[in-house]
Amino acid sequence: MSKPKKTASKPKKALLLPPPPPPPPQGNPFTYYVPKSATSLTVATKPTGSAAYKKPLGFIHANFKTTSVAPFGAKTTLAGHPVINKQDVKRAALEGGYGPQSMWTSRLAMSAAEAAELQRFLFSRLESVICCVQKDINDAWTILPFLRHVEASDKNLLSFTLGGIGTFLTAQNWLAAGGQQLEFCLHKSIYTKALIKFDSAKNKSPDYLIQSKKKHWHVFESKGGRSDDRGQRILEGLEQLDYQFSVGWKHSRPKPATTSVCVHTSVDANRRLEIMAVDPPENDVIEKDRPRQSFALIEGVCKLLLILKTIDQFRALTGIADTFAESDQEWTFEKTNRFGELVVGMPTRYLRYEYGVRARVAIYLAADEAASDYHSKGNRQSFWRLLREKMESLDRALPPHLQNDNAEREMGSSFIVNDIFRIFFDEGNRSFRERCASRLQMTEYWRPLWVTEVDKRTVLTAEHTGVFTSGGMYIRHDGNPTPAPGDDESV
């Protein structure tokens, strides 16, 4: 009797493992928010007696939505995970990383050595912050793990500084998505000195006023800190931006700001820097109840302050002496070990006319300081004494090699004190600051010195790559091609 045939057993299926999760996107995450509708609330109310907002992230998600396009201009796609190179981080650090309120005093403006010493100190602090971040395998800037062990005061400095850097990088992306390019960035330590009229007790001062190359103005408020505190900080920033902002040069009349953006940079140990930007755009429903805030700026003051800041930063980066040897080169280039090796350049004319810049800025600030210290216009001699004391202080701060300089001798002559005294007590349509700037010919002085687009193209043609700060300093990371020794680096 034959045995029944065995049925062939079906082969067992191989055990299938689930696919690995996709790798994180390259670069750092940037998330942008705009209101969900014209009636969305953009400012939260704190509970009575409380210093904190209730469920801040819930308020943001209820009233705002993410966006991938800029709400102005060309409305192209916003980069959600841009890869940020070292050169751009260092430019952002120099532009927006740290800007002390007391930076611009008349005596400091006149003293090149003291200003350079202050900049070296500020750069040391910036370098201590930058050494806390490095790129991970996904090309994202990441906070190193040791941050969790540092003192609270150091963490606050890190958050404040990286907040400024993140805001500047966001502004670049924001404007680019709207078909614009960043022309220059004014930190509040600069623009508050150039306002036609400014009362620090009454006026709110956003961290940055930024102008695009299309001459549009944008307002930015900077925040930084732990990710679990992000909602609170953003609502604080939105409250600070709860104004109808108008910005512009006095001679062309301020116009409504194109956007007003609060930017928060999350700073957590062993995690990527994450940037969140919230823009509450203008609309008729909300704007009618908002207070107005106008920033009418004196262009000559802003531009000369940017030039002076550039000179001071260049000296601090390179250690170049405060004496200037005459040169026929159009640009001066130097290598620096600061910020991990940079090549920096500056128009030689900045150094050639440095005293004229310093004298005008210092006298303008001295007059403004005297006016701020003067409380009673009934006693004219009081203002005269204050002004004379300021001017004598400037004479003492003047570098020795310039004390006998005749090229700008009229800037230190006694008759300018008489002119400022007369201007202060004259009644007129223009403010005291505006008339002082006019008397010092600040506009006529900055125009021939300013770095133009033609200047920039010429330098980039010779150097192949690099970026420029708002004041016109050229920056190139030294990992890029460097001219051979002996090559002419002038333009």
Low-confidence winner among 21-30, 57-66, 226-235 (lowest mean pLDDT)? 21-30
Residue 163 token pair: 């907040």
Radius of gyration for the chain, computed over Cα atoms and rounded to the nearest angstrom: 27
Q: How large a percentage of the chain has pLDDT more than 70?
A: 83
Q: What pLDDT, in 10s, does the model give residues 76-123?
A: 899 999 999 989 999 999 988 565 555 678 888 888 888 888 888 889
Q: Which of 232, 115, 226 is nearest to 160 (CA)?
A: 226
* Average pLDDT value over all residues in the chain: 84
Query: How far is Cα 152 from Cα 6, in angstroms, rounded to an integer?
Result: 77
Backbone angles phi, psi at 21, to 5 degrees: -65, 150
Position 460 confidence tier, pLDDT thresholds 50, 70, 90: very high
What distance in Å separates the CA atoms of residue 47 and residue 92, rounded to the nearest whole number?
A: 37
Of 247, 338, 350, give the one whose Cα is nearest residue 306: 350
Query: Rounded CA gap, 440 and 326, in Å?
Result: 25
Model confidence at 7: pLDDT above 90: no
Quote the CA–CA distance of 364 and 362 in Å, as a whole number. 5
Tally the residues of the chain. 491
pLDDT band at 490 (very low <50, low <70, confident <90, very high): very low
CB of 336 closer than 8 Å to CB of 317: yes
pLDDT higher than threshold 80 for residue 278: yes
Instruction: Show Cβ contacts of residue 476 under 8 Å, excluding neighbours closer than 6 positions.
Output: 87, 342, 343, 344, 463, 465, 466, 467
Report which residue type is found at 19. P
| pLDDT at residue 174, rounded to an integer | 95
In the block, tokens 């680096």 appear at: 489
- Burial label for 454, CB within 10 Å (0-12, 13-18, 19+), is exposed
Q: Is residue 402 a contact partner of residue 410, using CB atoms and an 8 Å limit?
A: no
Range scoring the smallest mean pLDDT among 52-61, 74-83, 89-98, 409-418: 409-418
pLDDT attached to residue 84: 94
Residue 386 has φ and ψ, to the nearest 5°, of -60, -45
CB of 125 within 8 A of CB of 61? no
Higher pLDDT, 140 or 395: 140
* Contact of 219 with 206, CB cutoff 8 Å: yes
> Where does the pLDDT of residue 418 fall: very low under 50, low under 70, confident under 90, or very high at 90 and above?
confident
Candidates 248, 238, 247; CA nearest to 281 is: 238
Strands (E) located in 171-283: 182-187, 208-212, 217-225, 244-249, 255-256, 259-266, 274-278
Contact at 8 Å (CB) between 159 and 170? Answer: no
Top mean-pLDDT range of 40-44, 147-151, 284-288:
147-151
Query: 371: pLDDT confidence band, cut at 50, 70 and 90?
Result: confident
**Across residues 142-153, what is the average pLDDT?**
93
Residue 486 above 50 pLDDT?
Answer: no
Q: Which 3 state secondary structure label does DSSP give 430?
A: coil
Higher pLDDT pick, 16 / 61: 61
Is 93:339 a contact under the CB 8 Å cutoff? yes
**343, 333 in Cβ contact below 8 A?**
yes
Read off the pLDDT band of 406 (50, 70, 90).
Answer: very low
pLDDT band at 485 (very low <50, low <70, confident <90, very high): very low
Residue 246 has pLDDT above 70, yes or no: yes
Q: What does the DSSP 8-state code read for residue 401?
A: G
Residue 489 pLDDT: 33
Question: Helix 299-318 crosses helix 112-130 at what angle (to 10 degrees)?
Answer: 70
Residue 409 vs residue 272, higher pLDDT? 272
Least confident span in 182-196, 299-313, 360-374, 433-447: 360-374
Q: Are 210 and 217 in contact (CB under 8 A)?
A: yes
pLDDT score for 48:
78
Contact by Cβ (8 Å): 131, 233:
no
**Alpha carbon distance 191, 301 (integer Å):** 9
User: pTM to 2 decimals?
Assistant: 0.88
What was the pLDDT predicted at 16? Answer: 77
Instruction: Determine the pLDDT at residue 319.
Output: 84
pLDDT of residue 4: 62
Alpha helices (H) along 353-483: 354-373, 380-397, 414-425, 432-439, 442-446, 453-463
Secondary structure class of 8 (helix, strand, coil) = coil
pLDDT at 263 exceeding the cut of 90: yes
Q: Is the pLDDT of residue 202 over 50?
A: yes
216 CB contacts (<8 Å, ≥6 apart)?
72, 73, 180, 258
Is residue 441 left, alpha or beta, with left meaning phi > 0 and alpha meaning psi from -120 to 50?
left
